[in-house]
Chain A
């Protein structure tokens, strides 16, 4: 694979381009590729894509994009170019599995299979904002979920009573974040569980600061180093990747395509959703990618948008599964808040869809998460149950698509439901949902059983 220092050099010496010029060119290029490969959205009957040749075409479009256009470095305003051989080599050489954690808590995180039958890998949280007083307690609760393969850190607004502002406090907060996570997983009896640093900021100093095999990030831990929307990368992340590549790490890449951005609609976004994991691997050495396609309004928590976003997302997963070794994940976000029926139904759609597409399940969270109100252990536990029920029912893409259409019909016309904070609906001391949330949970499970899922 192309060396990271070579990537850094290209980011410094590649052709200069203004960011807006890149953005506009991105839009034009995506339109051109959509036409060339006939990637138009399919009807609602294809809630999940079942056309393998379309997935392969989407993959080819993504490779063409990388070879013809490359990636844009926002720190240097330069374009990083790759040739076809480099892209093919990267795609071929990307690891199909990652070992993470240590001792009894070591896990193997694998690429899933479309229509597969094996349980998929799980990250139950955080990737959410919590205040420092809850830090280690929240981490403990999520680490207590037995299927957890790794756990991600959280963001915090203040540390030791001080606002996190400026480089020194950011570095300190990052160190503290990992310290609380370590304490949390120890308290849960899983001292070797892999932790992923959730960046306090994307500055190299705060990403590198927690590197400490005794008290901080170990070589068996990871960090979130995402490519930016519109196929952009940053110098600080390349810097961080260079450091961690000789220390040991795995990196997670938030790399979904955004419908409504400069890539255009879902068709352009699905190309972006395939491009960004490849770029993440090539420029940062990322090995896990939560990707797919999202809609801007959904991510902002404004509207529950399903088809054709779900379809586009499934094309991304299938393209990556069929043509690469890249390990892809589905970020299980919901527009609705905690302790709501709508929220759990949104979660269920994602969980089924991810499972039949071979996507690992990643960090369920309210998409527009408020402080201490982004997640509880209920959502990941529910997500795992739904995924297992999908496997137990041996659902394939086509059948799963039909079930999801029914659930989508149930959600039609609903607005995102307002909910509760983490502590209002979950007892973090006793690791137990509130009676209200428990009742909603059982009710939604019953509904899903009626749709054909088989819960144990």
Chain B
């Protein structure tokens, strides 16, 4: 497989191009590939029922994109080109399983196939900002969820009374982040649990700084190194990837998604982009895990919660991203690569309010589809406001596996759950909180209060209301054939 040094050299020697020129070229290229590979689709919405011929064409389009257009390095304003052999060679060589953590907390994270009968791997916690005084307690609570195989780190706006601003403070914060994470997993009784570094800053310094087998990032830990939207990569990440290839550890691409309506064009272009990004992350950064595989409307990915937004989206409660496009990405990567995938479709977060029956059911709806698609479960804090949400999701995933749900059954299940949620919300103000994480930087108390109401973080116990709502949601899911209780004990 192409070496990282060769890639670095290409990033500095490849043809120069202005970023805007790349963006517009991307649009044209995607249109051309959509036509050439007969990917245009304007029929009714579909779920997990797209035929494999279409899926494989989408995959070939992504390979063609990488072979013909390459990727763009934003640090050097140069294009990194690959030939088709290099792309296919990379596709073949991705590992299908990866060992993380150490000692008794070692876990094997696997690639799952469509309709796989094996349990999902679970990533929990973090991927959000925590103030320093809350971080250890909150992350410990997430680490205590035993179904979690990996826990992700967090961001800090202030550290030891200093605002995290500029490179020196960023590296300090990155090392402190990891020290707090190590403490959190130790407190949770899981000292060897794998921890993923959540970047304080996307510069090589803060990404490399936490390396320290005693008190920081071990060889059995990892970090998030994401490909940017519009097929862009960066030299800082390449430098980081080179360093970690020599040190050890796993790398995670948080960017295996695409937004409909961006420079890649409509839904079909976005599908090609998401597949290509998955391959790119492995080729360019050696990412072994990929979050997402999602193709979604711009709102769901870019929404940053504000009261005004809440008002706006209350008026459009049915706005949802298509399911089929995400399925095509997941199926294409599953059929043609060994890439280990987490995520899948993203529903409306927090619908009905944090900890409500509606929210839990909405989550279950997505988990069922994603589990059948062969995704592992990513339960970071942004869309899992309490550790109990992580447990609930894992139980739904386990129940889905146990019930051996097939692709053609998913639509029916999703529609039934949607029906329950709609009925439940009648007369209740619809709160789709989107991505609330930015609120934490501005007003942490407002961000944290509803989470704390549902979960006693210091005692690490869910509230009675949350448990009651989860029980009710579980009963409704059992009526649909998903037995959460049985799955928890008998899988």
Binding site for B on A (CB under 8 A): 4-5, 7-9, 11-12, 76, 159-160, 162-163, 165-172, 175, 203-206, 208-209, 211-215, 235-236, 238-240, 242-243, 246-247
Contact = CB atoms under 8 A, between A and B. Distances in A.
Interface centre among B159, B208, B235, B241 (most CB of A within 10 A): B208
A30 to B, nearest CB: 28
Contacts of A236: 167, 205
Interface in B197-216: 203-205, 208-209, 211-215
Contacts of B179: 246
Contact of A235 (B7, B168, B240, B247): B168
A166 B235 contact: yes
A243 B169 CA distance: 10
B246 A170 contact: no
A212 B9 CA distance: 24
A169 B76 CA distance: 13
B213 A213 contact: yes
Interface string B50-79: 000000000000000000000000011000
A95 to B, nearest CB: 22
Contacts of A159: 5
10 contacts: A7-B168, A76-B166, A172-B8, A175-B243, A208-B211, A211-B211, A212-B247, A239-B171, A243-B175, A246-B212
B41 interface: no
A240 B7 CA distance: 26
A163 B8 CA distance: 11
B160 A5 contact: yes
Interface string B1-21: 000110111011000000000
Interface centre among B76, B168, B213, B238 (most CB of A within 10 A): B168
Interface centre among A9, A160, A168, A240 (most CB of B within 10 A): A168
Contact of A9 (B4, B76, B162, B205): B162
B8 A239 contact: no
A6 B169 CA distance: 9
Contacts, number: 136
Contact of B175 (A163, A172, A246): A246
A345 to B, nearest CB: 44
- Give the top 9 A-B pairs by smallest Cβ distance, nearest first: A205-B204, A8-B168, A168-B8, A204-B205, A168-B238, A171-B239, A166-B12, A168-B239, A167-B239
Given A168-B11, A204-B167, A5 B172 contact: yes
Interface in B239-255: 239-243, 246-247
Contacts of A175: 242-243, 246
Contacts of B5: 159-160, 162, 168-169, 172
B212 A209 contact: no
Nearest to A167: B239
A171 B204 contact: yes
A286 to B, nearest CB: 15
Contact of B9 (A9, A169, A213, A247): A169
Contacts of A8: 162, 166, 168-169, 172
Contact of A209 (B8, B208, B215): B208
Interface centre among A4, A11, A162, A208 (most CB of B within 10 A): A208
B165 interface: yes
Contacts of A206: 239
Contacts of A162: 5, 9
B167 A167 contact: no
Nearest to A243: B209
Interface centre among B4, B5, B11, B243 (most CB of A within 10 A): B243
Query: Interface on chain A toward B: helix, strand, loop, or mixed SS?
Result: helix
B116 interface: no
Contacts of B171: 204, 208, 239-240, 242-243
Contacts of A76: 166
A435 B103 CA distance: 58
B453 interface: no
Contact of A242 (B12, B165, B168, B246): B168
Nearest to A13: B165
Contacts of A5: 159-160, 162, 168-169, 172
B208 A235 contact: no
Contact of B168 (A170, A209, A239): A239
Given A4-B168, A8-B162, 6 more contacts: A5-B159, A8-B166, A8-B172, A172-B5, A213-B213, A240-B171
B239 A239 contact: no
A137 B179 CA distance: 38
B239 A170 contact: yes
Contacts of B8: 166, 168-169, 172
A33 B243 CA distance: 47
A104 B286 CA distance: 39
Nearest to B76: A166
Contacts of A205: 203-205, 208, 236, 239-240, 243
B246 A239 contact: no
Contacts of B165: 12
Nearest to B163: A9
Contact of A168 (B4, B166, B168, B247): B4
A426 B215 CA distance: 44
Contacts of B159: 5
Contacts of A235: 166-168
A217 to B, nearest CB: 10
Nearest to B3: A160
Contacts of B236: 167, 205
Contacts of A212: 211, 246-247
B156 to A, nearest CB: 13
B166 A166 contact: no
B208 A238 contact: no
A159 B4 CA distance: 13
A11 B165 CA distance: 11
A170 B247 CA distance: 16
B14 to A, nearest CB: 12
Contacts of A167: 75, 204, 235-236, 238-239
